[in-house]
Amino acid sequence: MKTAAYAGDRTIQIADAEPTAPEAGQVQVAVAYTGLCGTDLHILHGNMDARVARPLVFGHEMSGTIAAVGDGVDGWTVGDAVTVMPLAWDGTCPACLAGNSHICQNLDFIGIDSPGSLQGLWNVPAETLVRLPAGIRLDHAALVEPVAVAVHDVRRSELQPGQKAVVIGGGPIGVLIATVARHFGGDVVVIELDPQRRAQVQELGFATLDPRAVDQVAWVEQWSGGAGADVVFEVSGAAVAVLGATALAKVRGTIVVVAIHPTPREVDLQRVFWRELRLLGARVYQRVDFETAVELVADGVVPADALITRIVALADTQDAFADLEAGRAMKILVDVAGAR
């Protein structure tokens, strides 16, 4: 089978590998599609070199079908359509014992800390499988993982129907957060610098702001009747966005930090104090988020065709990253099955 692996120095290696049979408690998945995401870009840029082994077969946004079932695994059959919730926790650390196993202090994020889905046949723990409903397209199903991120972010914010939500950053996760927030009843505006992405977001029916052309604080105040936004999602990863996010939130509003910030950022703590703001982190997802995400994709709530810019061959993974980095694509999927 073919694999794509991060080899260091911003290099992706395409190689042949011999598949191994699933061990007891594992299931072997024939990977159909793998989505490329911002975390993968962080890996490619070397930001996670202290964490990842190299070469690393990465990838964690995926869909596929079961190819083989290991000993001791019940409830799964060869041919079942699945996606994978790529988290393996130890169950013994303080976070797990407190009921927060999704952010286990010794978490194995599969595809980062251990081999991921950019390979034809992928062995994973059976408990990470999430069943896909009959009839769902496997290319659409590769979006379930990032949709689960968005569901978790919105659930974490406690956004209520009718409330105002500002999403800073109109990339894939920003668009998905906006989509989920709107589906849950929120009134949403997306702040985005790039005109192409801003146009794509507008085509999906969202109000957008260009912060270079509009005073975003004044706009949000007018939009919210002078109060400010109930919830602000910081998805851009930009230092200036973090510094400005607190100015957009209402008294006792909530700011949710979604983006991965590789370095510490300045935060306007005076504003946090003055308006009694809540500043929350939102990382990965829980099982309920994944199950909700499957429903949203299957029901067509998520505009999958609009979000998937194109599907590329495994051999073209390196070039696909160049397009993502340059902002020339919203979401690119890798056709892993085509390389087997």
132-152: burial string, b at 16+ Cβ within 10 Å, e else: beeebbbbbbbbbbbbbbbbb
Strand partners, 125: 26
Q: 3, 34, 39, 179: which one is catalytic?
A: 39
Distance CA 297, CA 280 (A): 26
42 is catalytic: yes
The β-bridge partners of 14 are 4
Nearest to 174 by CA among 200, 212, 156, 139: 200
- The distance of Cα 111 from the centroid of its chain, to the nearest Å, equals 13
User: 42, 65, 183, 309: which one is catalytic?
Assistant: 42
Token digits of residue 309: 């810019």
CA neighbours closer than 13 Å in the CB half-sphere of residue 264: 2
Q: Please tell me the distance from the alpha carbon of residue 37 to that of residue 109, in angstroms, as a whole number.
A: 14
Residue 86 tokens read as 């790529």
Is 208 an active-site residue?
Answer: no
Determine the length of the chain.
340
Contact of 314 with 338, CB cutoff 8 Å: yes
- The tokens describing 70, both together, are 């290991």
31, amino acid identity = V
Q: What are the catalytic residues?
A: 39, 42
